[in-house]
Homo-oligomer: A and B are copies of this chain.
Amino acid sequence: MKARIHITLKNGVLDPQGKAIEHALGGLGFAGIDGVRQGKFIEIDLAETDPGKAREAADAMCQRLLANVVIEDYRIDIDE
């Protein structure tokens, strides 16, 4: 079973990479960009077969290591 985890900066936390990307896209002539945010996307293959248990595990992983909950939010999707 696969856990697909999106880790994004909390609203209000400024995002230097996003800013720089936005700037660079502007430099390349892309217009009409109102904002860019960069986050992480982590895919984990789990031996676990029970979706509930898999989500619990993934959640624990985010809390302990994957996300810095001071500045980051995370979202977990489990697909069989």
Contact = CB atoms under 8 A, between A and B. Distances in A.
B43 A41 contact: no
Contact of A57 (B30, B37, B42): B30
Interface residues of A, number: 33
**Copies assembled:** 2
A46 B66 contact: no
A41 to B, nearest CB: 4
A33 B41 CA distance: 17
Contact of A38 (B34, B35, B38, B41): B41
A45 interface: yes
Contacts of A38: 40-42
A60 interface: yes
Interface of A: 6-8, 18, 21, 24-25, 28, 30-48, 57, 60-61, 64-66
